[in-house]
Amino acid sequence: MPRRIQVPRSARRTGRRIGANIRPADSGLRRRLLLGNAGVFERVKGVVATTAGYAGGSANTATYGQVTTETTGHAESVKVVYDPSKITYGQLLRVFFSVAHDPTQLNRQGPDVGTSYRSAIFYSNEEQRKISQAYIAQLNAAHVFPGPIVTEVTPLKGFYDAEAYHQDYALHNPDNPYILVCDRPKIQALKAQFPELFQDYKGK
């Protein structure tokens, strides 16, 4: 059976290696997504697919227009499907906390403010919850960041794909000012900090 894993600065290599005959695990690293995180994770070796979407609210409010009202309970998120024989949950956590976002910002990421921009990991089983919480505790104890990590570790109730124009947005809009200022630096940081994990991405 494939495993569903919900994932998002230092980390042990955790996670079980699964044989090649098993389909890639559906990882649920959720966090500020629509542009930045998807652009990062689609360039990580072992990641099979990424999908921009929403998590934390209900299906009938999972549209960009409603989520931006900050009344739906949704967080902008990214679903990461990866091959656990090529990359581990722990390595994905390293990327999530190192380059994908700032886990110390409460209900915001850079210029984007609101609960839909909160830092969150939506888990689907106890193993994921324990690993995520232990990892965050490690980072806090080591004072890796100047402030405490505010990343929520929350059970996944549902993930809803975002509108088509959000998918591969950074790839299709490379000269967009937001992409240049907020997203391209994350991709450059991934390549610099994790050269062994970096891969070029040409689109779905």
CATH of the domain at 28: 3.30.1060.10
Q: How far apart are the first and last CA of the chain?
A: 25
User: How many C-alpha atoms does 193 have within 13 Å on its Cβ side?
Assistant: 19
Stretch 40-55: mean pLDDT, rounded? 92
- Whole-angstrom distance, CA of residue 66 vs CA of residue 50: 22
Task: Name the residue type at position 180.
Answer: L
pLDDT number for residue 33: 35
Q: Determine, yes or no, domain membership for 200.
A: no
Between 149 and 9, name the one with better pLDDT: 149
Our CA angle for 116, 78, 180, nearest 5°, is 80
Stretch 135-159: mean pLDDT, rounded? 94
Q: Determine, yes or no, domain membership for 94.
A: yes
Stretch 181-192: mean pLDDT, rounded? 92
Q: Determine, yes or no, domain membership for 201.
A: no
137: helix, coil or strand?
helix
Dihedral-angle region of residue 15 (phi above 0 means left; psi in -120 to 50 means alpha; beta otherwise): left
Q: Determine, yes or no, domain membership for 179.
A: yes
Q: Determine, yes or no, domain membership for 152.
A: yes
Tens-digit pLDDT profile for residues 93-106: 999 999 988 999 99
Reply yes or no on whether the pLDDT at 190 is more than 60: yes
Q: Determine, yes or no, domain membership for 149.
A: yes
- Whole-angstrom distance, CA of residue 170 vs CA of residue 199: 16
Reply yes or no on whether the pLDDT at 16 is more than 50: no
Q: Determine, yes or no, domain membership for 198.
A: no
Q: What is the DSSP letter of 148?
A: -
Asked if residue 56 lies in contact with residue 80, where contact means CB atoms within 8 angstroms, the answer is no
Q: Determine, yes or no, domain membership for 58.
A: yes
Provide the β-strand partners of residue 47. Answer: 82
Give 190-193 contacts, CB < 8 A, sequence gap 24+.
Answer: 190/40, 190/43, 190/44, 190/95, 190/99, 191/43, 193/98, 193/99
Tens-digit pLDDT profile for residues 63-83: 999 999 999 999 999 988 888
As for how many domains the chain has, the answer is 1
> Which residue segment(s) compose the domain that 142 sits in?
4-193
Reply yes or no on whether the pLDDT at 191 is more than 50: yes
What percentage of the chain has pLDDT greater than the value 70? 82
